[in-house]
Amino acid sequence: MKDKIMISRLANKKILLGLTGGIACYKVADLCRSLRKLGAEVQVVMTQSATQFITPVTMQALSGNPVYTDQWDTRFANNMPHIDLTRDVDAILIAPCSTNFMYKLAHGACDDLLSTLCIARPNHVPLMIAPAMNVEMWTNPATQRNLAQIKQDGLHIFGPAAGEQACGEVGMGRMLEPSDILAELEAAFQKKTLAGKQVLITAGPTFEPIDPVRGITNLSSGKMGYAIAQAAWEAGANVTLVSGPSALTTPYGVSRISVQTAQQMHDAVMAQLNFRRKDIFIAVAAVADWRIANTSDQKIKKTADSPTPQLVFTENPDILANVAARKDPPYCVGFAAESENLLEYAAAKRIKKNVPLLVGNIGHQTFGQDENELVLFDANGHQALPRADKLSLARLLVDEIGARV
């Protein structure tokens, strides 16, 4: 069976990918390949320094288009590649962007094809850079002055990251990994409906111990909550994700707090609300309603004459209801995972929890799956979102939340 391909915001986008001199050029080969897999058309332009690290032949094979390096390229009838290459692109991405090229962008230098086309680009075409350099070069005051200038000029800065560098030193200046650059690039095409908002999200299952090796949990994978966290970050929010046990990778740009039990999740949520005001709280996690009151300190052994263990249950705190009942609550969005009668039960749950928006789905049809189907419940009734992959649904939901807040 073929994997289902998720529709990307980069599909059918034309990206001009510029390479400048740096060992991080080797990462850009994978970036170029990934862009094409997501449906983007890639046009590569390289500086002469970049060709010392990776060949134009390699980038042509990966992009499927001729690679340009010379501002006097005779393949253009009008001899104006700096004009022709920029007039129909959706974005220009410079990766890696060297210290020297940052200087050129800050000062409007036009001494090669890539720098000239950056200055000649139409105003509506976004220019994005992924810096890559030694830590001392990055922290140098001159570089920081150039960085401040290009930020003021409206360029998008992706990274850099901290870590081990090719020279053997450790610190800030590593180019972001290709997957992180793709996340930044996708987010750049998203409307910032939650710009500056503080968003707190719970996701995944909880695990309630019976003894040191056993416990009670559920089939939630966390995929929906993690997708909502990613979509909220893409929409410009500062996102904190409180997650139960999950093997999922934390979405790029999202801060994650890992917990196990419902009580731990409750305490983490309340601590976050007390630490800094949140504008939006989205309770996606499948939280256990009860926990074991008489947990055993040792593994419960089964023997021929041992009695059947008698488990005593006690109710867990209701995280969503407690947040909604605060004196100055954030905008609360709840989730209801039902097995039947979704319209009836979810509508009643929204009223019981006293939240303005509740999202309902059929739990056993979505847990662990890559797709979902959601129904939104508010004071005006309910609205169904069509079945789709969870990230696409998350983006639709975030748009709905953004319109409400």
**Cis omega (within 30 of 0) for bond into 330:** no
Which residue type, as a one-letter code, is found at position 144? Answer: Q
Rg for the chain, CA atoms, rounded: 25
Contact 232, 257 (CB under 8 A): no
Contact 160, 94 (CB under 8 A): no
DSSP secondary structure letter of residue 286? B
Rounded Cα distance, 395 and 201, in Å? 14
Which of 206, 205, 208 lies closest to 312, judged by CA?
Answer: 208
Concerning whether 97 is annotated as a catalytic residue, the answer is no
Which of 214, 210, 209 lies closest to 310, judged by CA?
Answer: 210
Residue 164: Cβ within 10 Å count: 10
Reduce the DSSP state of residue 65 to 3 states and report it: coil
- HSE of 30, CA atoms in CB hemisphere, 13 A: 10
Which of 169, 173, 194 lies closest to 278, judged by CA?
Answer: 194
- Could you write out the DSSP letters of every residue in 365-401? HHTT-SEEEEEEEETTEEEEEEEEEHHHHHHHHHHHH
Task: Identify the active-site residue in 25, 32, 118, 167.
Answer: 167
Residue 12: Cβ within 10 Å count: 11
Reduce the DSSP state of residue 157 to 3 states and report it: strand
Longest dimension (CA), the chain: 93
DSSP secondary structure letter of residue 141? H
Rounded Cα distance, 321 and 262, in Å? 14
Which of 52, 53, 10 lies closest to 32, judged by CA?
Answer: 10
Positions marked catalytic: 167
